[in-house]
Structure 1
Amino acid sequence: MSEELLVNVTPRETRVAVVENGMLQELHIERGSQRGVVGNIYKGKVQRVMPGMQAAFVDIGLERAAFLHANDIFRAAPVDAVEGEDAAASVASPQMQVPIGELLRDGAEVVVQVVKDPIGSKGARLTTQISIPSRYLVLLPRSKVVGISARIEDEAERARLKALMAELTASGGEHGYIVRTNAEGQPAEALAEDIAYLRRVWELIERNAAGAKVGSRVYEDLSLPLRAVRDLIRRDVEKVKVDSRETCERLREFAARYMPALADKVEHYTGARPVFDMYGVEDEIQRALDKEVPLKSGGYLVIDQTEAMTTVDVNTGSFLGQRNLEETVYRTNLEAAQAVARQLRLRNLGGIIIIDFIDMHDAEHRRQVLRTLEKSLAKDHAKTTVYDFSPLGLVEMTRKRTVESLERQLCEPCHECGGRGMLKTPETVTYEIFREIVRAVRQFDAARLLVIASPKVVARITDEESNAVAELEEFIGKSIRFQADAQYLQEQFDVVLL
């Protein structure tokens, strides 16, 4: 598999694309005016403790108060081993449900880390279970946990890494660590460098937090290009192409310091065409904003993102197959399973996801489609959980969401339809105008009326509804004049009494 990272830098926006075998798989965007806060650490103040929700709202200096649940508050727990890279899960103690009132009080100052950006009308999600990532490790301050990522499957390698960490943390083992997937095959020296770096970072955070004011940031995560190199570059990544010389130099210095074996993969892109155009990324971004996703077979997906969940509908489209209906459906669903996994990564869709595959009667076909979906999702950096086919033939799954989806980062609700995706027809608006005229005449006295509306609505009224207008004028005993205004949207109108 050929994989490349493309970094596009402009004065106010930075974008990082993950391209596998010539196809865009992931897109990360960071804008100067809307930089995410996930990973940042703040000194906050508890605004309100809510026992009924087992949570508290905390002021950390952002526009909206952030949310801190009782399960995300650090307390010592007898954990012997940890699997995976989710540091928060490593120190939580679900079996010890302590009331939020015993953990926090109104007005208390608390050092917290953002685990989820503000999304829509919701504030940021917080934790006091601080975790600081580096290239190969995640530091868990005040925890004694040492765990290995579940994605490192080789038992001999797991045992080697566990033994190395036990040796390296024997002195000054006041903190816990998660060994990340990137640490597989790394020598003791590389892990020791990470441990020293993380300890220095934590000491700086403690000093900053001690003298910080409430609502101030005491630690900021790396910028997007540096995070991309830290988290996304692996041995199978062939190149990291950067179109900014200054950013390229920073990335080379960062790589030389923390991952010298991979530093040579960072190169400055100097092509005449923009790097995203060269790889077709811009076209892929535009397609990722469409509801329909065509499949090579002729079938297609329809993806709908709502507040509660995301739904994916699979259709055969023009694909007729070569044998029988069941085989045609099976082949379409197999292709759709791979496409769905890619679209979830590309569009950064999270939360509850419902996939409506085309109905299959063969149980083995259903198992194969589900296995294909799970295998395709294995490349996803976000945590996913897939459930079996429901009695209605739907596949339910969840995908961890920490930032807004691609659509909500790049788009806003339509000003004309208000985000409904539908407009009232000119006929509907016409009858609304007629009702408003009658309502206005009954409430207020006027010699005549002026109606201002969109050109499309006025054209319909003066043409197809001219008889209805004459009848209305006779009914109210007043003349009505219509004026088209191109500034008015299709659903907008004003009835003016003259």
Structure 2
Amino acid sequence: MKQIVINIDRFQTRGAILEDGKVVEVFIEREGEGTINGNIYKGKVANVLPGMESAFVNMGLEKNGFLYVNDLREFEEKYLDGIENSNRPIEEILNVGDEVVVQVLNEPRGNKGARVTTHFTIPGKYLVLMPNNDHIAISKKIRNERERKRLEDIFAEIKPEGMGAIIRTASEGRSMYHFEREIQYLVKKWEEIERKIKRAKIGEILYRDNSVITKILRDVFSNDVDELIVNNEEVYWETIDYINAFSENNLKTKIKLYREKEDIFDVYNINKQIENALSETVWLDCGGYLVIEKTEALISIDVNTGKNTGSVNLEETVVNTNIEAAIEIARQLRLRNLSGIIIIDFIDMRLDEDKQRVLEALEGALSKDRIKNNIIHFTDLGLIEMTRKRTGNPLSYYYQEKCPMCKGTGIVKSSLNIIEEIVKEVKEFIDEKDISKIKVLTTKELKNKFIETYFDFIREYLKRRKKELVIEEDKNLEKNQYTILLGK
């Protein structure tokens, strides 16, 4: 059973996709903090980098956007000099201060600004309009050649001159009526954007890629969904109106309004599953477990047998654990919205046919993922390499922040190291003639450790220089914190 649960309160809108009771995707939009993916901005060139074939664009955001020269070609052709298939270097196309309209491809991450492009796309439920690209592309998930030809013929007939379209998977089996209605809507959207370009100020948003609710209805809600439950009556009726305008009327019967007072995410066990998804360790039903760790460069996933001792033989136990892990890994990637380079270290298998079984299980589970992914077969080291397209923020972005003590490393200084820092700092005041008393305030743990290791030595050391050392516990200090007070 496939369900969509939407939870709306005064602070945020959250949506979750459940497959047989398990959460596989989460959508979050907080008040005043929407995603900027897909937004179109009017920007100004802040810097041109010939050596990197790119430019930085000021869009009024905290960090400048990053524009590759190949992502500039359509804008160059239509709005700058009209040269088709240009291969001019970026320094001949843009100068600092030039105005340019860009669309966000990837959200800002860490110290990096947003990746932007001028290959504009305006998405709908059945197609994505490419207003500056006269090309038709069809989703690879539509495999029937006859259906692909039918869709291509329809769009060749109805698409506006000079514009192109990406035909989405949801188009399969649909009639020309659906497409004509939507393409008119998307063309109108683009015409509104073009009217805004000249009068817009730098940093102004020319197009916003809709809310979480619209994205769910456009990209997820379809005939394979059994029900959509929403806890807000106003949004319930807006959803009905959207279905009336863009989708089949039979979908309306699947939309349900939740009226109870209890948190809808608690009722469907979503909050608990999100909490578990924030942990590095994921337990499998068989007793094995995954360890998922994120670094700046990649995501590493380690598979372990754990408590699974099996009932047949070691090889079969390993293969069964790896197959269950492969299915769970695909779910965790979607649930946590992990992206970029992903390295999976399955438990070692001797036989190539066993590796193939695990690989097929992973591919099958990932086929449900809406986000583009690419699996590279087992490497010589027995690892699976894969990539997953970056789209939006990872789940951890909304629920976690770096620890102020360890700064995200997961490791803090040892007690002994902190004590050595205290001793070093105390010694700096030895030659100060107007200081006769040094008081160290710290936690009970550090105080006891200090007395056990250095206190007698450093007290005598200071006494010979006519200075007094006192160490006291301060219950207001957190772990590894200390304060040094100086007196005459």
What is the TM-score normalised by the length of structure 1?
0.92
The whole-number CA distance in structure 1 between the counterparts of 2:386 and 2:92 is 35
Counterpart residue identity of residue 122, structure 1: K
Counterpart in the other structure of 1:408: 397
The match for 1:193 is: 181
The equivalences for 1:88-487 within 5 A come to 97-169=87-159, 172-261=160-249, 262-442=251-431, 446-462=435-451, 466-474=455-463, 477-487=466-476
Instruction: Quote the offset at 1:240 in angstroms.
Output: 1.1
- 1:11 Cα deviation after fit: 1.2
> Is the CA contact 2:74–2:132 (under 8 Å) kept in the aligned structure 1?
no
Give the equivalent residue in structure 2 for 1:86.
none
Q: What secondary structure sits across from 1:5 in the alignment?
A: strand
CA contact (8 A) 2:75 2:118 kept: no
- Counterparts in 2 of 1:476 and 1:292: CA distance versus 1, 3 Å: farther
Provide the rounded CA distance (Å) in 1 between the counterparts of 2:317 and 2:431. Answer: 63
In structure 1, what is the Cα distance between the partners aligned to 2:352 and 2:205?
54
- The answer (yes or no) to whether the contact 2:436–2:466 under 8 Å persists in 1 is no
Cα pair 1:76 1:143 within 8 Å, conserved: no
Question: Deviation above 3 Å: which 4+ runs of structure 1?
Answer: 74-77, 95-98, 442-445, 462-477
Counterparts of 1:368 and 1:97 in 2: how far apart (Å)?
A: 46
Q: Partners in 1 of 2:362 and 2:457 — Cα distance?
A: 58
Query: How many Å apart are 1:270 and its aligned residue?
Result: 1.5
Contact 1:46 1:110 in 2 (8 A): yes
Between the aligned residues of both structures, percent identity stands at 39
Match of 1:87 in 2: none
Instruction: Tell me the distance in 1 between the aligned counterparts of 2:384 and 2:395.
Output: 23
Partner of 1:82: none
The answer to whether 1:35 aligns with 2:38 is no
Determine helix, strand or coil for the equivalent of 1:286.
Answer: helix
2: CA distance, partners of 1:325 / 1:386: 27
Instruction: Answer whether contact 1:4 1:239 (CA < 8 A) is retained.
Output: yes
Say if 1:461 and 1:469, in contact at 8 Å, map to a contact too. no
Name the CA distance, whole Å, in 1 between partners of 2:48 and 2:455. 63
**Residue type of the alignment partner of 1:224:** V
Letter in 2 for 1:319: N
Q: Is the 8 A contact 1:416 1:489 kept in 2?
A: no
Q: Which amino acid aligns with 1:238?
A: D
Counterparts of 1:74 and 1:39, CA distance in 2: 18
**Contact in 2 for aligned 1:347/1:407 (Cα 8 Å):** yes
Worse-matched range after superposition: 425-434 or 130-139: 425-434
- Matched with 2:5 is 6
**Segment drifting more, 482-491 vs 357-366:** 482-491
Say whether the 8 Å CA contact 2:56–2:64 is kept in structure 1: yes
Q: 1:117-167, CA deviations, whole angstroms, 9 ceiling, x for partnerless residues?
A: 111221111110000001101000121101111111111211111111122
AA in 2 matched with 1:408: Y
1:315-343 Cα offsets, whole Å, 9 max, x none, are: 11011112222221111111111111111
Cα displacement string for residues 62-81 of structure 1 (whole angstroms, at most 9, x for unaligned residues): 1211111112123399xxxx
- Contact persistence 1:8–1:14 (CA under 8 A): yes
**1: distance between equivalents of 2:476 and 2:89?**
56
Q: Distance in 2 between matches of 1:351 and 1:378?
A: 17
- 1:105–1:3 CA distance, 2 compared to 1 (3 A): same
Deviation for aligned residue 1:284: 0.3
**Contact 2:57/2:67 (CA < 8 Å) preserved in 1?**
yes
User: How much is the aligned-residue C-alpha RMSD, in angstroms?
Assistant: 2.1
| Structure 1, unaligned runs of 5 or more | 78-92
Tell me how far 1:210 sits from its aligned partner: 2.4
1:92-139 deviations in Å (ceiling 9; x for gaps): x9x975421233222111111111111122111111000000110100
Whether the aligned pair in 1 keeps the contact of 2:371 and 2:389 (CA below 8 Å) is yes
Distance (Å, rounded) in 2 between the aligned partners of 1:68 and 1:445: 60
Q: Match for residue 56 of structure 1?
A: 55
5+ residue gaps, structure 2, are: 77-83
AA matched with 1:177: A
- CA drift at 1:487: 3.4
Relative to structure 1, the CA distance from residue 61 to residue 481 in structure 2 (aligned partners, 3 Å threshold; closer, same or farther) is same
Question: How far 1:456 sits from its partner (Å)?
Answer: 2.1
For 2:416, give the aligned amino acid: E
Shift of 1:266: 2.0
**Structure 2 CA distance, aligned partners of 1:196 and 1:444?**
84
Secondary structure at the residue paired with 1:123? coil
Separation of aligned partners in 2, 1:291 and 1:281: 18
Helix, strand or coil: the match of 1:6? strand
Partner deviation per Cα, 1:206-228 (whole Å, 9 max, x = no partner): 11112211211111111111111
1:187-241 per-residue CA deviation (whole Å, 9 max, x = no partner) reads 1100110111111111111111122112111111111111111111121101111
Distance 1:444 1:161, change over 3 A: farther
> Is the Cα contact below 8 Å between 2:119 and 2:132 reproduced in 1?
no
Give the Cα separation in 2 of the matches to 1:263 and 1:187.
Answer: 19
SS at match of 1:161: helix
Find the residue that maps to 1:334 and give its secondary structure: helix
> What is the one-letter code of the residue matched to 2:111?
S
Instruction: Describe the superposition over 1:286-344 as per-residue Cα deviations: whole angstroms up to 9, x where unpaired.
Output: 00111100011111001111111111111110111122222211111111111111111
When normalised by structure 2's length, the TM-score is: 0.94
Distance 2:125 2:68 in 1: 29
2:79 aligns to what?
none
Work out whether 1:20 is the aligned partner of 2:9. no
CA contact 1:299–1:316 (8 Å) conserved in 2: yes
